[in-house]
Amino acid sequence: MTDLFEPLDTADRRIALSADGVLRAFNDAGVLEAADVHVAIQAGRLTGETDERALLAAALAVRAVRHGSVSLDLTALDDLVAAAPGLPWPDAGDWPTAVSDSRLVAEGVLRWEHDLVYLDRYWHQERQLVADLDARLTRPAPTVDPVTLDAGVQRVFPGETYGEQRTAARRAAAAWTTVLTGGPGTGKTTTVAGLLALLAEQAARVGHPRLRIALTAPTGKAAARLQESVARELRALPAEDQARVGTVQAVTMHRLLGTRRDNGTRFRHHRGNRLPHDVVVVDESSMVSLTMMTRLVEAVRPEARLVLVGDPDQLASVEAGAVLSDLVAGLADRDDSPVVRLATTHRFGAEIGALADALRAGDADLVMERLRAGGSGVEYVESDDPAAHVQARVVDAALAVRRHAEAGDATEAVRALDAHRLLCAHRDGPYGVAHWNRQVEHWLAEATGDPLHERMYVGRPLLVTANDYGLGVYNGDAGVVVRSAEGTRAVIDGAQGLADFAPSRMADVETMFATTIHKSQGSQAREVTVLLPPPESRLLTRELFYTAVTRAQDTVRVVGTEEAVRAAVGRRALRASGLRQRLGS
């Protein structure tokens, strides 16, 4: 949370021209942006608060939300103080009292609890989520026939290798709420598919109609992957189980809850209009913000099962909150804990799994050892000049996509997107996505002789960057521009399968030869190249590195210096929140 901005010029929109005093000093230093300052000034006017210490806390609380935290911890600002020396920081001993006794807190603009400063909205959401989860956890357990369950578990999870999945499914079948965690390839989707079969069998036994099942994920790409993987696992089950479960459809969380045009954070389904489903499964839960998780849990019927699936070691949501990791930490030691962890990796090779384990443990020496040991699944390029080391592979991948697109084979063109993925920590700068997308286009133009003057050139890989409910495409969906009998078409692979559109209708898209590690969550590629920025980059964290490595199915190539690797392992992406304290108490 130490990122400072440098004004581009005197008209930079981040400059608060009306600020004065302490807020002006922090804005001039690049600590606070205009939005932070204006919220604090307006809050002071509305409440009559004049203490600059309280107003500074309000501005920093707004800043904290922009950086992903739900609240502001006044005792954890050492890095920010060091990054902006010479500013009039309040005395650490007096500051908490000045805030807690302020009119901002008295009037409910700010909230002070667990020694944290909250904006009122996030304080209410955190409390509401805990209350709803506690209510679900303290409900009498659902009725399950043990004999049927025992037989079903052995049927859908046969063999010795499914021991963890059998244990997890048993616990989930006997609970209203389950938090199913584990790294990539540990069998989370296998467990979900088996659980659906077990629950459908229990429902059929007592004469209930077919279960109403909701599969959902934060992004369109993650929803498409969830549907594909669950359907694949269901096809491996006995025919009677497939028939009882029926066809399942995955959608984005926004679509499941029902978007409203008049309110971006409220939905058609809520506490007064619950979802009709009997089972709600949320994949990639680490990507879910506090606001979305609160809205989801309140919309699930108390007598419906809720299964939250994800990897708490991955990057958290791009919005405020680190809900999954807080749930795991806050609930793990409770007697009624719903947390079930799968530990054994089945998907990628031993080398990627060993590297992921070392990253999860935070052992920099072991990470370097496993990178340098290499193998068929891990390649380490120790360099601060990545271009020469990635050009051949990214051009080969781009040419493969282009060949299928030129031939009009949309299915193969989209499938080719998953052959290789170039992942960056930054959006801008020499290690950013924008630079590398331009660089790959330059290489592609050299290789094909096509100057790529057209914005929607054939073979351009697309990443949707905003939800478009009219078109039915969502943030995170991927696609490619293909040639067809009707001309060029933009083919998008969403939760409902392939859909094609006139390129002119695709306004909110960007090129996807390279993508940020944040945007890669919820997707996989057979081969992944990770470009590490310099060690001083504040985005370079253990969670970011782990997320990048675990996007690979077969091979991961890490390009960066040893200093960058060690900096990533040693730096945590910590977010201030009171959720785990509330759940633990």
Residues in binding site for ATP: 182-189
Helix ranges, 67-119 (H): 78-83, 95-100, 103-106
Task: Decide if 288 contacts 296 (C-beta within 8 A).
Answer: yes
Task: Decide if 347 contacts 184 (C-beta within 8 A).
Answer: yes
E strand residue ranges, 460-513? 461-464, 478-484, 487-494, 497-501, 509-511
Distance, CA of 553 to chain centre: 18
Q: What sign does the dihedral 343-344-346-349 (CA atoms) show? A: positive
Task: Decide if 529 contacts 557 (C-beta within 8 A).
Answer: yes
Non-local (6+) Cβ contacts of 325 within 8 A are 286, 312, 313, 316
Q: Summarize the annotated binding site as residue ranges.
A: 182-189
The residue assigned the tokens 């040419």 is: 399
Distance (Å, whole) CA 574 – CA 258: 31
E strand residue ranges, 183-232? 213-217
Encoding tokens for residue 359?
Answer: 């990253």
Q: What sign does the dihedral 235-241-243-245 (CA atoms) show? A: negative
| CB neighbour burial string for 9-38, b if at least 16 within 10 angstroms, e if fewer | eeeeebbbeebeebbbbbbeebbbbbebbb
The residue assigned the tokens 């809050």 is: 43
The residue assigned the tokens 């675990």 is: 550
The residue assigned the tokens 């981040």 is: 14
Q: What is the CA radius of gyration of the chain?
A: 25
| Helix or strand holding residue 342 (H, E) | strand 339-342
Distance (Å, whole) CA 247 – CA 332: 34
Task: Decide if 270 contacts 260 (C-beta within 8 A).
Answer: no
Find, among 491, 490, 482, 486, the residue nearest to 408 by Cα.
Answer: 482
Encoding tokens for residue 383?
Answer: 């360099």
Task: Decide if 10 contacts 63 (C-beta within 8 A).
Answer: no
Distance (Å, whole) CA 41 – CA 55: 7
Torsion angles phi and psi, residue 92, rounded to 5: -60, -30
